[in-house]
Structure 1
Amino acid sequence: MKLQTIACSTRPGRIGLSIAQWFHEFASTHGKFDCTLVDLADFGLPVFDEPKHPSLQQYTHDHTKRWSSCIAEADAFAFVLPEYNYFPPPSFVNAVDFLYREWNYKPCCFVSYGGVSGGLRAAQAAKQLVTTVKMMPMVEGVMIQMAGKRIDDSKVFQTDDHIDSSATAMLDELGKWATSLKTMR
């Protein structure tokens, strides 16, 4: 099973890429997935600009074709996202909206981060969105409170036993769903 860990924040100065790198390495050692780290910022997606509905897959722009090709390769997704005003970042919402069939019948999970709430409100809103493109969000999640304090001077995310055990439980469940949903595709 191919798992893509997607760093969803594209903001300059973001800490999300450090968290995504940690999760990608953690998932790689978990053993149930062939893992790839995807940085949403590398795709330079503008605000949705395709003239035809994504379900038709008649893409006219190179950025959409590249994004489509990337997402089509995966069997499961781990979205690493911050909370902006009780919601996921607009870059995440936009990236989901660009495609449709490429997401269908694939499970996803969330590594959320922020202040005291640890991005939980963003993850809950994101779960509603992904169901509309026929993804299955996991109940299990990884929530990182006060995330900025967990990044060291070398820009490396510092985890702990609670975060690691949450990540293990989430990946275990994601593996079950990825195997089951592959038969639907």
Structure 2
Amino acid sequence: MPSDTRKLGLLRRRCLLILDKCAECILRRLLKRYDPRYSMQEIGIAMSKKWIAVALILGAGIGVSSPAFAVSDQDRWRERCPDQAPCFFNDLNYRGEMSWKQPGIGLVNISHKNNDQLSSWANRSYQDAAGYEHADGLGECLPMPKRQRNSWVQGWWNDRVSSWKTNGGC
């Protein structure tokens, strides 16, 4: 029976072979669609086929579920957000400007620079936190439950938070 490391190696090789074939197929179709006179060699692609396929798949908006993609986001929020603290990020996937506070702090208005900029958040504390639509805790409330995170605050709430607290939820 093969070891786990050997199984992962075999799986990785199979995935790369499939990805290479997909990349070549996608590139040939794209080239024929736009200008059949050019071949892959003529356009001088410097990247390997597997990275082109990944870029095309992600660029097309097709969801790809892979631990390789998830790990980078997990590392990003863990690296940027201190342990035991709720954090706000101005861009999705825990990017952009970041602001954090220790748990247990009451309502605070967000700075003018970061007002209405929240696009992702992570709450590493053991206490619920909340964001509010307007300054001084007015308007709708966005719950940020303890030990949870959201890599993309979608819909109405994106870029809407003006005040927040770390001493309880909504």
Q: Higher relative CO (CA 8 A, sep ≥ 6), structure 1 or 2?
A: 1
Which is richer in helix?
Answer: 1
TM-score scaled by length of structure 2: 0.27
